[in-house]
Each structure stands twice: as structure tokens, then as C-alpha cells.
Amino acid sequence: MNNAFRYDIRVRYEETDAMGMVYYGNYARYLEVVRAEMIRAEGLSYALMEEQGVLMPVLRMNITYRGIAVYDDLIQAKAIILGEIGKTITYKTELIVKDQLINESEVELIFLDRSHRRPVACPSAFVAALEKYCVL
């Protein structure tokens, strides 16, 4: 994952649960933040995509939990895009805390036309911006 996008996220108190660690469902938020910041790092934004009438609901999420994160941990994320960017896009993300891999995931999203809710191709400006993160 040499060409991975890297981003750090601080664990908030709200994201922990009574086991004293991050609630398993809250990793979806971190993965969303990483996707948003990957686009922003290339000068675009997901908000801009919505303004252009394209939504990106999630089709599939597979998470393997290999360790835990606790309050105030600084989570280091590394994310790449698997395969090509077409009518869907698949992110593979690793989350690391104190040099330990705690979370591996794949999330596939689809590009939808907002008005008709039909699949569309990813806008070309976004393909161009993100292809540096693709791994075939």
C-alpha cells in the first residue's frame, strides 16, 4: 500500500462504549471520514459531488476487527482503492493504533444520480483525482 492515502483520526469519548473501547459500529464513521479526506486532499470534496447531483450510498461493508482503540487514541488510517473506478468504487482501509493493525475493511459504494436514483459513472474529475490511489 505504497500509494495509500494516510489520515489520522482522534477517538472521541462519544465513540467509546461501556467496554471502554470504540463501539464496533462507529468504525463506519472513521471510514467515511477517510474517504472524504482522500477526496479533499486532491482538491475536490464529496460535498461538491452532491452539488453535482451524485450520491454515494454504500453497497457493502466488510470489517475485520483485529484489535481495539480506546478514548483519545490517534488512529492512523491507510486507504487505497481496489480495482477501477466505474459505477462503483471499493475502498480498502487499514486502521493502526500504536503500530498495531486494529481494523481492516472493504467498503463498496455506488454512484447514483440524485434525481432518478439510478447508477451513473463516477464524474470524470473525481476519477482523475482518485486514480493515484487505485491498486489493480
Encoded one letter per residue, x for contact with a second copy by CB under 8 A and - for no contact, window 37-66 reads --------xxx--x----x-xxxxxxxxx-
CB of 135 to a second copy, least distance (A): 21
Non-local (6+) Cβ contacts of 8 within 8 A are 74, 75, 76, 77
The closest of 78, 82, 66, 80 to 30, measured between CA atoms, is 78
In the bound state with a second copy, the residue whose beta carbon lies nearer, of 2 and 117, is 117
φ and ψ at residue 62, rounded to 5 degrees: -120, 120
CB of 75 to a second copy, least distance (A): 14
Rounded Cα–Cα distance for residues 32 and 95 (Å): 13
The reply to whether 14 sits near a second copy by the rule CB under 8 A is yes
Torsion of CA 24, 47, 107, 112, to 10 degrees: 130
**Catalytic annotation present for 17:** yes
Encoded one letter per residue, x for contact with a second copy by CB under 8 A and - for no contact, window 69-98 reads -xxx--------------------------
SS3 label, residue 91: strand
CB contact at 8 A, 73 and 11: yes
Q: Which of 4, 6, 26, 134 binds a second copy (CB under 8 A)?
A: 26
Q: Which of 3, 23, 84, 98 binds a second copy (CB under 8 A)?
A: 23
In the complex, which residues of this chain contact a second copy (CB under 8 A)? 12-14, 16-21, 23-29, 32-33, 36, 45-47, 50, 55, 57-65, 68, 70-72
Q: Provide the annotated active-site residues.
A: 17
